[in-house]
Amino acid sequence: MDPQLFAMFRALEERHWWFVARREILFALATSLAPPRATLLDIGCGTGFFLAQAKEHFTVAGLDPSPIAIGLCRDLGLDCVLPGTATDLSSVGEQRFDIVTLLDVIEHVDNDVAALQAAADALTPGGRVIVTVPAFQFLWSAHDDVNHHKRRYTTSGLGAAMRRAGLEPIYLTYFNCYLFPIAFSERLAKRALGLDKGADLSLPPTIVNAAMRRIFLAERSRIRSFRTFPVGLSVLAVGRKEGDLAV
């Protein structure tokens, strides 16, 4: 990620509806998969807001390749964040984790299967990998270019990549479904008007931000109970190592 984007995301993540609701949803999912004080590794932890929330329930560690990101995490009191990439987890040595998260990470790397394999190798018996990625190549915009995305995914595409990495998807769904029609229409309009020119993240007016947060967050109970959505702006998957029969 470009250094200037870290400052943008750091300023937004605490309050922007997408970041706040997404964190709550993923935290609820993760806590349904493992008991208190289970271990969690967040690969590509960025500015650290999800990891800081996860610390309420889990014993956490984080990896990120950017010294800027690591510094921002430490500003949040996260001394457990180390340098590392999606395919190089050597900083955590032989430690294994009950939950490994790749949250909007693998779309940034050339070899997504290798990244998923590394996450699988970091699991304890019975452990789970949680993956999120942006959905649908037809939603590609300048936002993807600015963020150096390599691809967007369908549920079938992410599931196939996980299987090639030795992960069995046990839950696979779209999410951020309820706001999909609005976002899709907005992107079409921007293309038509020639306004699709950069990262499309800014903090909406307070009342709009609160309303969109509530709409997105309404998906939390459905996801926590492992029900699926037919469409959405993102894809979410939970996987386990193939052949792992541990509960």
Sketch the domain layout of the chain as residue ranges: 3-241
User: Which one, of 16, 11, 73, 15, lies nearest residue 43 by Cα?
Assistant: 73
Secondary structure class of 184 (helix, strand, coil): helix
- C-alpha distances (whole Å) from 245 to each of 125, 127, 135, 176 are 8, 10, 30, 31
pLDDT at 3: 61
Give the pLDDT confidence of 23-75 residue by residue, as tens digits. Answer: 999 999 999 999 999 999 999 999 999 999 999 999 999 999 999 999 999 99
Question: What pLDDT was estimated at residue 232?
Answer: 97
Q: How confident is the model at residue 2 (pLDDT cuts 50, 70, 90)?
A: low
Average pLDDT over residues 217-236: 98
CATH number belonging to the domain at 3-241, selected among 3.40.50.150, 3.10.350.10, 3.90.1150.10, 3.30.70.360? 3.40.50.150
Position with higher pLDDT, 243 vs 234: 234
Kindly tell me if the per-residue pLDDT of 175 is higher than 90. Answer: yes
Amino acid at 157: G
In the predicted model, is pLDDT for residue 247 greater than 60? Answer: no
Q: Distance between CA atoms of 220 and 74, rounded to whole angstroms?
A: 29
Q: What is the pLDDT of residue 184?
A: 87
pLDDT tens by residue, 7-21: 777 778 989 999 999
pLDDT at position 196 is 60
